Amino acid sequence: MRSAVNDLLGAFDKLVMDPVHGGIPLYRHEIQVIDHPLFQRLRNICQNDILSLVFPGATHSRFLHSVGVMHVGGRMFRAMIDAYLRERQLSDHTDLSLNQLDAIDYLTKVIRLGCLLHDSGHSSFSHQFTKARRIHELMAHPERFHSLWSGQNYTRYYAAPPDELEHEHYSVRVAHEVLSAIALDESGLAMEDVLGIMETTTVEPSPAFKQHALTFWSFIAGPDAANGVLDQKDVPAMVMDLLSSIVSGEIDADRADYMLRDGFHSSVTIGGFNLDHLLSNLRFGWDVDSPWLGLAITHKGLGALEDFVYSRHQMYRKVYAHKTALGFDWLLREAINEVLDDPDNFDRVDACLTNMADFADLTDSFFWEAFRKHARAHPHSYSKCIVDRVKLDHLDTRDNLSEGQIEAHCDYLAEALALNRGDVVTCSMRARFSNIQENFNGIKVLVRDPVTGLRSLKKITEVSEFFSKFSDGTITHFYHRPAILRG
């Protein structure tokens, strides 16, 4: 029976080699997704905007990351299934029912596709794109959402249009477009189930998902599923929340992949953690009284979770918020604003953000060409700084300053260093630690009673003091504009 679960997705159609995870199996419907032009565009979008100007190896793409997240998401779910079977000491001679195998198969495929498509809506330079003022204005246009979904029924995923578009909304739109273009029915999957575990959506699961969710719930919860305390109509939403947490949560496939991948390609070790150790200690957790179904971790696995969370915190502080990297991010955003003053560039980006036929052209390459063109005509420009790697001159770094304190420190630096106040600029980043605080219920710890041997679920902060020792913090770097930008 263990072999039946392990071989459930064994008949893959292609194996791709990944520098971080090794061989990653792909199945026919996943290959169709990856081969779609809207997914192929991710090859030309860098995972970490222009971090490679500081860490030269960090040239890896959103394409690589997305395939890696799919692989990790599938591993997470199957690791929990394996642990469930192992701990219940089910033998190789005990057969899972066909319904149970079908449910595991269906949910695994939904997770993998949700993970594969989770970042498909990222545009040029990833997160820095939407932080540029001119781009933000474009995406905040009140009719943008309706134009993007023209001719399509968005009410399957959104009860009402969002107030402002983010890259997650574009990921949903891309996923809808891509999955509509492939033979998804042949894989037995319903599109709404995949989009339902992606961020920003609210979806009514398909009849197939509902049935598989009930089978899965009965399989893992046993007596708790059979005692009638939990209304069966609540089960599909609980299972969908579980799958969503694997795509985007505190212990999710997205974070696990980007920490390992960014650390590997940046040639730093502070983002390292033992993925195998973490996965081997993940479990399904549930509480029929809440009701709640989600991820749990064994008590002995807390160290792996602490490593995971702290490594992410350190990556923010030491890599993503590196003083030179944040300076280039500031220059990049200003360069994007600069080239959008050209009506041709503005109209093209506007069109790309409006319909899927043009969206495939919105890559890093578009802006690099625009930067080079502008730099040739304007040697004292932000674009010139990006093209020729002209850095902001770093002056100072401070933590956790208010806006008023930042302004006051700018004034101080300008006066003390005899600088033009207008040439002193700042860039800040929130160094995230974790949402796992005292009232956090997204993840629980499985604790075994030493006398009875029974297990109970506890909040992480009731078992570990680690998460109370750290918090988010804001890092602010102060810079002097380079000479070519000064009036």
pLDDT in tens, the chain (487 residues): 444 455 554 568 899 999 999 999 999 999 999 999 999 999 999 999 999 999 999 999 999 999 999 999 999 999 999 998 888 765 444 567 899 999 999 999 999 999 999 999 999 999 999 999 999 999 988 899 999 999 999 999 999 999 889 999 999 999 999 999 998 988 899 999 999 999 999 999 999 999 999 999 999 998 888 887 888 899 999 999 999 999 998 899 999 999 999 999 998 877 678 999 999 999 999 988 888 899 999 999 999 999 998 888 889 888 999 999 999 999 999 999 999 999 999 999 999 999 998 999 999 999 999 999 999 999 999 999 999 999 999 999 999 999 999 999 999 999 999 999 999 999 999 887 887 776 677 889 988 877 776 778 888 888 888 888 778 889 999 999 999 998 6
**Cα–Cα distance between 433 and 354 in angstroms, integer?**
35
Contact between 196 and 107 under an 8 Å Cβ cutoff? The reply is no
**Cα–Cα distance between 367 and 373 in angstroms, integer?**
10
The single-letter code of the amino acid at 12 is F
Q: Tokens 């079908």, residue?
A: 102
* Residues with Cβ within 8 Å of residue 222, at least 6 apart in sequence: none
Residue 76 Cα distances to 57, 72, 236, 364, angstroms: 28, 6, 20, 32
**Cα–Cα distance between 255 and 307 in angstroms, integer?**
13
Q: Is 72 helix (H, G, I), strand (E, B) or coil?
A: helix
- Of 84, 94, 80, 77, the C-alpha closest to 222 is 84
Q: Is 176 helix (H, G, I), strand (E, B) or coil?
A: helix
Q: What angle do CA 140, 347, 326 make, to 5 degrees?
A: 60
Q: Is 267 helix (H, G, I), strand (E, B) or coil?
A: coil
Residue 162 Cα distances to 137, 143, 242, 276, angstroms: 15, 11, 24, 38
**Cα–Cα distance between 334 and 131 in angstroms, integer?**
10
**Cα–Cα distance between 294 and 239 in angstroms, integer?**
8
**Structure pTM?**
0.94
List the beta bridge partners of residue 169. none
CB-based burial of residue 303 (10 Å sphere; 0-12 exposed, 13-18 middle, 19+ buried)?
middle
- Alpha carbon 76 to chain centroid distance? 15
DSSP H or E stretch at residue 106 = helix 98-117
The tokens describing 45, both together, are: 């979008």
Residue 399 Cα distances to 317, 375, 396, 426, angstroms: 11, 34, 10, 12
**Cα–Cα distance between 443 and 284 in angstroms, integer?**
10
Residue 437 Cα distances to 310, 451, 468, angstroms: 14, 29, 7
Backbone angles phi, psi at 23, to 5 degrees: -75, 130
- Of 235, 243, 233, 234, the C-alpha closest to 201 is 243
The single-letter code of the amino acid at 202 is T
Q: Is 379 helix (H, G, I), strand (E, B) or coil?
A: coil
**Cα–Cα distance between 13 and 281 in angstroms, integer?**
30
- Of 303, 243, 315, 238, the C-alpha closest to 272 is 315
The tokens describing 265, both together, are: 């390609």
Residue 444 Cα distances to 51, 199, 273, angstroms: 35, 22, 20
Q: Tokens 């905040």, residue?
A: 140
DSSP code of residue 252: -
Whether the CA torsion 115, 117, 118, 120 is positive or negative: it is: positive
